[in-house]
Amino acid sequence: MKLIIKNGTIINPAMHQHETGDVVIKNGRILSVGPAAEDDPAAVVYDAKGCFVLPGLIDMHVHLREPGQEAKEDIHTGTQAAASGGVTRVATMANTAPVIDNAAVLRDVQERAERQGVVKVSIIGSVSKNLEGKQLSEMGDMAAAGAVAFSDDGHYVESANFMRRAMEYAHMFGKMVIDHAEDTTMCAGGYMNEGKVSYRLGVTGRPAAGEDLAVARDIILAKLTGCHMHVAHLSSKGAVELVRRAKADGLPVTTEVTAQHLFFTDECLRGYDTAFKMAPPIRTEEDRQALIEGVLDGTIDAIITDHAPHTNEEKDVPFCCAPNGIAGLETSLSAVLTELYHKGKITIDRIAELMSVNPARLLGVEGGVLKEGAPADVTVVDPEKEWTVHGKDLYTKALFTPFEGITLKGRAVLTVVDGEIVMKEGQVLK
């Protein structure tokens, strides 16, 4: 099939390109980017006038829940949600049942993704067996089988010596370790950010200092081992400054932030709404502003979702009983456009870097660029399209979203994976 995306503003930071033009695609590859395409009656044409044409978005931190937790989400519904949000590739975390801690489980997930995935799926293996932080996972075998990184996300690796050995081992295979940085001796048993709101509500908090301590420890271990250490879902002002200093010192440290941490603060939890319950927790306005500054000055490398859906029955309980995690694949881009782009804080080019170019580089996968011969993964964004979020209308199985009832401005209107249109005008086609 030949596809021509016409008249859009091409946003292609990897090629220093920001211009009006056409993208021509055939047989899953890009034929040309920029010049006006010749008319071809046999081609499918999409008029992208008024829209941005970006390299396909890549979300390097999601939980597809399969195998073993398909009531929450599965590969098909999760990748449908990704396509709906303009995401052409996701990297799924290892905390499934069974845990992705060996090559056999990893290959099983790969095969499921090939059969059921609407978008591309990369797989992150665990650091430790069964996420227990006691015995190393089969990193070598998983690296050979295609694991793009290693993480015990959802669990902090408590033993510094174990984390050191894990980082040394991962470094041997040229893979980064993605760090869930919350010191459990400070944060275990907490349900939201520790601060004025938690005190007023009488809810045990998770102090930002617990995140700062964990980040500081693992920056030291990155310096010791030389391993690329990537801090997952940064949320505190102190942690932003620690990463900033580590980068200034030339250490192999990178980080990410979720759209929800850029959008909300702990003031949203005054009603004990479990849709806002996540780990790490959304924090204060001061923390939120520090995260935005980190995005703007390059301290933060990627914007991700930490898409972590749960069933309605799990979330529709008293606040302290609900699990941490929200669905985010369908709202992430729109939230960033609404909060940052439309408020003049960030350019669309920087958004493309944070949500496509940098994730491709960090994961070591194809993507993040529109150029001749590259895989035709493309996201078309209408920056002016307004829509009101309702959980019941989303493709994810999760009904709970912190964006419920909020009108966002800007949305993906076309998602193309290997030259195939998988989402058009909000409708997923697979």
Catalytic residue set = 306
Tokens of 401: 């979203």
Taking alpha carbons only, the member of 406, 382, 387 closest to residue 49 is: 382
CB 203 within 8 A of CB 209: no
**Distance between CA 179 and CA 176 in Å, rounded?**
9
Sorted by sequence, the CB contacts under 8 Å of residue 120 that are 6+ apart come out as 88, 89, 90, 113, 377, 417, 418
User: Contact, 80 vs 430, CB < 8 A?
Assistant: yes
Q: Which amino acid is at 346?
A: I
Residues in Cβ contact with 74 at an 8 Å cutoff, skipping those fewer than 6 apart: 64, 65, 66, 116, 397
Q: Dihedral sign for Cα 23, 24, 30, 35, please.
A: negative
User: Could you write out the DSSP letters of every residue in 239-300?
Assistant: HHHHHHHHHHTT-SEEEEEEHHHHH--GGGGGG--GGG--SSPP--HHHHHHHHHHHHHTS-
Measured distance CA(279)–CA(261) in Å, rounded: 11
SS (H, E, C) 157-221: CCCHHHHHHHHHHHHHCCCEEEECCCCHHHHCCCCEECCHHHHHHCCCEECHHHHHHHHHHHHHH
